[in-house]
Amino acid sequence: MSTRAQVRFATRESGQSFATHPNAIHAQFYVHYDGYPSGLGVEIAESFTRYQKIKNWEIEDLNTRHGDLEYIYYIWQHPMKETFISIFAVGWQEEDECIFVGKPSDLIDKYSQNKIDS
């Protein structure tokens, strides 16, 4: 079964909460499957922490909206500031819910299936 997601890039700006959708994005990609946090989320985080390559992304026009998304990811960047990632579970009948905000290493700690539980 496909778990569809969009990955959007936004600029970190003063006063912008990472737990809300930004007004503007700079790039957007579509991922057709494995879009859940322990799949795509960890893959994104590992691209920052372990320099892993990301595969199977389709670049999209900034105005493209899908009706079948399950997750939207935001990668918040700004020169000389740390990168943060937000994950939203897309609501079908209600508003999207922000389920994660943090640094890439925090995302790996929370969602990686390969972590060692003590």
pLDDT single digits (tens) 44-93 = 999 999 988 888 899 999 999 888 899 999 999 999 999 999 999 998 77
Is 90 exceeded by the pLDDT of residue 7? yes
Q: Across all residues in the chain, what is the average pLDDT?
A: 91
Is 50 exceeded by the pLDDT of residue 18? yes
pLDDT band at 116 (very low <50, low <70, confident <90, very high): very low
Q: What is the pTM of this model?
A: 0.90
Q: What are phi and psi of 2, to 5 degrees?
A: -85, 140
Burial environment of residue 5 by CB neighbours within 10 A (0 to 12, 13 to 18, 19 or more): buried
Q: What secondary structure does DSSP assign to 40-77, as a single string? A: IIHHHHHHHHS-PPP-S-EEE-TT---SS-SEEEEEEE
- Report the percent of the chain where pLDDT is more than 70: 95
Is 60 exceeded by the pLDDT of residue 117? no
* pLDDT at residue number 35: 94
Is 70 exceeded by the pLDDT of residue 115? no
List the structure tokens of 46. Answer: 């590992």
